[in-house]
Amino acid sequence: MPARFKERLEKLDIDSIKDRMTIPVLWELLKFPGTPKKSCKSPFREEKTPSFSIYDHDRRWKDFATGEGGDAIDFVAKAYGFTPKEAFKTFLNIAKEHGYVCH
């Protein structure tokens, strides 16, 4: 990774952005139906019984039906079918667009 790019990422403080742009915030921004909470229905597929969970102060998600889970960037990757790199870029773009990154 080029040093200039790495310095820019460090300045952004990704963890700080994740603290503010939580899974429920992303859920709303991506216009998923339902209410994200400790036990809810998956925003990624139809289901009759809730098998999805938001936890760790709204910073992590887990789909118990599929075994998938992760942080906000993983949530973006799953929502769009992106690679981790594409999801990271999209996460930053969403954060900038909605005022979670100032510069």
> Domain 3-97, what fold?
DNA Primase; Chain A (3.90.580)
Q: Using one digit for the tens of pLDDT, what is the confidence trace for 5-16?
A: 555 655 568 999
Q: Show me where the domains of the chain are located.
A: 3-97
Look up the pTM and report it.
0.87
Which tens digit of pLDDT belongs to each residue from 45-62?
999 999 999 999 999 999
Sequence-distant (6+) residues with CB within 8 A of 78 are 44, 68, 70
Q: What is the DSSP string of 29-53?
A: HTT-SS--SSSB--SSS--SS--EE
Query: What is the reported pLDDT for 99?
Result: 93
Question: In the chain, which ranges are continuous DSSP H helix?
Answer: 3-12, 14-20, 23-29, 72-80, 84-97
d(CA 61, CA 1): 28
The per-residue pLDDT for 8 is 61
In this predicted structure, the answer to whether residue 98 has a pLDDT above a threshold of 70 is: yes
